[in-house]
Amino acid sequence: MRHMTMPRLSMAELANGLSSMNQQNLSSFIWSVADLLRGDYKQSEYGKVILPFTVLRRLDCVLDPTKEAVLKEKEKREAAGLNPEPFLLKKSKCLFYNTSPLDIKKLMGDQDNIAENMFSYIQAFSPDVRDIFECFDFHTQVDRLAKPGLLYMVTEKFANVDLHPEVVTNEQMGHVFEELIRKFAELSNETAGEHFTPREVIRLMVNLLFIEDDDALTKPGIVRSLYDPTAGTGGMLSVAEDHLSGQNPDARLVMYGQELNGESYAICKADMLIKGQDISNIIHGNTLSDDGLPGKQFDYMLSNPPFGVEWKKIQKEIKKEHASDGFNGRFGPGLPRVSDGSLLFLMHLISKMRSTKDGGSRFGIVLNGSPLFTGNAGSGESEIRRYVLENDLLEAIIGLPTDMFYNTGISTYIWIVTNRKPASRKGKVQLIDASAMWQKMRKSLGSKRKELSDEHIAEITRLFGEAKEVWIDENTGKRVKRVSVSGTALAAGTSRNGKPKTPAASALPLTQFPSAASSRRPTLATRRSPSSDRYLMKTARESSKREAKKKASPSPTSNCETAKRFRWAKMWTSISIAKLCRMWQTLGSTTTRRRLVKISIQPSLLRVQTAEGTR
C-alpha cells in the first residue's frame, strides 16, 4: 500500500487561500490527492477523480444536519405504504436527499467492500443527484480506483476535508471548482477559459445589467429570470443571484442555463441544486445546434462564449435553421464565417429577448475584437451588425484590459444589448474605454495577469450609469477638467534628446483637429492612410508648423506644463447609430478593418474620423 505524508488541509483554509490569491494551500490540497493517482492516471485525467469526489463531499456535508431525520421519515412513510419522496425532501430541507445509512466517513469502516458500498451510497441519492454523477461517469472511476487499491485512500482524503456550508460558502465553493478546473485544464493543455469567467468580470457585467433597473428590482416579491447559454460551472448565474439577493432579499431570480462540457454541467447543476433552484432549467448540450430551452424568453441574460471557436461540426444544423426559419428562427440576419461562432451566440441571445410589450430584455456578452471588424460589406458578419444597429439594440461596448482571462491575453469587449433603451439612449451607442483600468495580480493564473479592483468596477459602472462625457488622467486615474491646449504650446515640449517633442494624438484635445466644416477629409471607405494614429500625428505636426510660422503666441488658455503632465484618456463617448452603421458597412480592406479595431477602443479618434462635423 502507498504511504503519503502530506499535511491535511481543511477546505476553509483552501477557500481563504484562494480568496486572497494565495495558491499554495490550493495546490497542496490538489496534489495531496493527485500524488495518489500518479502512475495509474495521466495528469490530464486527475480531474475525472478529484472533481466528482469534491462534489460528493460537498453534497454529503450539506445533507449531514438532516441525515437522521430523513432516515426516520423514510422508515415511517414506507411502513405506512406511502411514497416517501415528497416527505424526504421536506425533511432534508433541500431539493435532494440520500436514503443510505452510509456517508463518506462511514464508508471508511469497511475497506474490503468500499467499492460496493460506494455504489450503494450513490444510488441512494435522489434522481437529480444521480444524474450529476452519471455526467461525471463516476461509476467507471470507482471501478478504476478500486483495482489498484486507490479507492479507499482517495475517499479517506476527502473524508478529512470539511465542506459544510458553515465552513465554506457557496461563493467560495464556486472559486474552488473554477480553480480546480483551471489547474486540470492547464495540465492537459485544454482551454480552461471555456468553462468559466473571472469573477470580477462577472461582477462588472452584473452591475451593468441591473443598474438601470435598480428601482424596479427593489420592489418586494419581484421575480425575474436570468439565462446563460454558456453556463460553465454556473459562475455568472451565482454572482447575479448573490447581487440581487444582496440588493433585495425578497427578490427571486429564476435561473436557466445550458452547458456543453459534461463536467462543468455537473458542477453547475450541483451548485444550483444546493441553492434551491429548479435544476430542470439547467440543460446539457450544444446551445447552437440544439437549443435546450426552445421558445423560452428571459428578462436578463449573460454569456461568455468561447473566443474564435469554429462551428464546422454543427454547420449542417445551423444552415438548415437559417434557411428554413429565417427571421422566425435564431439566425435570420446572416451567418458568420465557420471559423468563429461568436456572432451565432449573439443572435441566439437576441432571439431569447422578451418583446417590448412584455417588458423587453437586456443582456451582456463578452466577445473578442473579431465581431467588431471581421467581414467585408455584405458578408454575414456585416449583415448581423447591420441588424443589431438598425434595430437600435446595441446600448454600449466596454473595452476591457488585456490579460484578463485565464486562457488568452487578447483584448475583450463587453457588449450590452437591449430592446428597452431609455429615451436618452435611443439612437446612440455608448463606448467606454476601460483598457487602462486594472491592477496587477500578485501571481499570474494562466494568461491572466491583470484584474479589476472594486474601485475599477465601481467607476466603470458609474460611467455607464451616468452616460456623461468625461476625461480621465491616466497617471492618477482621477477625473479632470478638459483643458484646451494650442498646437504651439504642445510643440514647446521637448524630448529627452532635446529635440522638439511631437505630441501623441491622444494628448490633443478634440477641438484641435479639423472638422468636416473647416477642411475636407477622406472618409473611412476611401482614405488609404495605413493607420489612424499616423494620420492624426501628421495633422498635429502640420498644425504646429503653421502656428510656428505665424509666430503666434500661446493662447491665454494654453498651459504647456498641463500638456506635458497629462495624457488624456477619453473614457466615454457616444456615437449615433447611423454613423456606426456607416463605419461597419464600409469595411472593405484589411487596413480599414485594422483601423476600426483601434478606433473602437479609442472613442476620441472615433469621433474625429467618422463625424461629418464635430459632435
Contact criterion met (CB below 8 Å) for 423 and 615: no
The enclosing domain of 321 has a CATH number of 3.40.50.150
Residue appearing with cell numbers 493517482:
37
pLDDT of residue 189: 58
Coil/strand/helix, residue 148: coil
Contact criterion met (CB below 8 Å) for 363 and 302: yes
pLDDT of residue 175: 81
pLDDT tens string 243-270: 999 999 999 999 999 999 888 999 999 9
What is the average pLDDT value for the chain, to the nearest integer?
A: 77
| pLDDT value at 513 more than 50 | no
Tell me, yes or no, whether 491 lies in a domain.
Answer: yes
DSSP letter assigned to residue 169 = -
Contact criterion met (CB below 8 Å) for 257 and 228: yes
Q: Are 33 and 127 within one domain?
A: yes
**Percent of the chain at pLDDT above 90?**
52
**Percent of the chain at pLDDT above 70?**
70
CA 523 centroid distance within chain:
35
Can you read off the three cell numbers belonging to residue 501?
517633442
Range of weakest confidence among 99-103, 155-159, 411-415, 582-586: 582-586
Strands 300-303 and 394-399, by their bridges, are: unpaired
Tell me, yes or no, whether 561 lies in a domain.
Answer: yes
Distance CA 98, CA 64 (A): 10
Query: How many domains does the chain divide into?
Result: 3
Domain end call among 182, 210, 235: 182
pLDDT of residue 419: 97
DSSP letter assigned to residue 479 = B
Sign of torsion over alpha carbons 238, 243, 247, 253: negative
DSSP letter assigned to residue 36 = H
pLDDT of residue 55: 93
Q: Are 35 and 98 within one domain?
A: yes
Q: Are 196 and 177 within one domain?
A: no
HSE-CB at 186 with a 13 A cutoff on CA atoms is 14
HSE-CB at 212 with a 13 A cutoff on CA atoms is 23
DSSP letter assigned to residue 38 = B
Residue 333 host element (H or E): none
DSSP letter assigned to residue 398 = E
Distance CA 465, CA 395 (A): 12
Q: Which one of 177-191, 286-300, 366-380, 471-485 scores highest in mean pLDDT?
A: 286-300
Tell me, yes or no, whether 589 lies in a domain.
Answer: no
Tell me, yes or no, whether 527 lies in a domain.
Answer: yes
Domain end call among 132, 160, 182: 182
Domain end call among 134, 152, 182: 182
Contact criterion met (CB below 8 Å) for 405 and 235: no
| pLDDT value at 20 more than 50 | no
| pLDDT value at 559 more than 70 | no
Nearest to 255 by CA among 263, 28, 239: 239
